[in-house]
Amino acid sequence: MQQPPKKDKSISRRGILPLLGTSLLLPFLGNSKTQDIKKDPEEEVQYETLLKPDGTIVKVKVNALKKSKVVKKNIPNSTFLQWIGKKL
C-alpha cells in the first residue's frame, strides 16, 4: 500500500485563536501587582500653576513655594503689567 505524502504541519486558524486569546490576557495578569501598592499622601507631589514674567504658565511644586521668600507684597496692577511686559 502506498502511504499518502506527509504535509508539513502548518498552524490552522483554530490553532491561532487560543494563542491570540492568551496573549491578550497577559497584560491584565501583570497589572494586578501594581494595584496592591498604596501610595502615602506625603509622597504625592502637589503642583501649583504660576505666571512667569514673559506671560507663560509654569507648574511649581508646593514645597518649593513654601521655602521661597516674598520680594514684594501687594504690588499695584500697573507695576504687575509692567513686570510681565504689557503696555497700558
What does the pLDDT read at residue 41? Answer: 61
Does the structure show a pLDDT above 70 at 30? no
Q: Is residue 56 part of a domain?
A: yes
Query: What is the residue-averaged pLDDT of the chain?
Result: 76
Q: Is residue 9 part of a domain?
A: no
Q: Is residue 51 part of a domain?
A: yes
Q: Is residue 1 part of a domain?
A: no
Does the structure show a pLDDT above 90 at 59? yes
Rg of the chain over Cα atoms, rounded to whole angstroms, equals: 32
Residue 61 Cα to chain centre, angstroms:
17
Which residues contact residue 54 at a Cβ distance below 8 angstroms, ignoring those fewer than 6 apart? 84, 85
Residue 3: which pLDDT band, with cuts at 50, 70 and 90?
confident
Q: Which residue has the cell 506527509?
A: 6
In this prediction the pTM is 0.34
Q: Is residue 60 part of a domain?
A: yes
Q: Which domain holds residue 60?
A: 47-84
Number of domains observed in the structure of the chain? 1
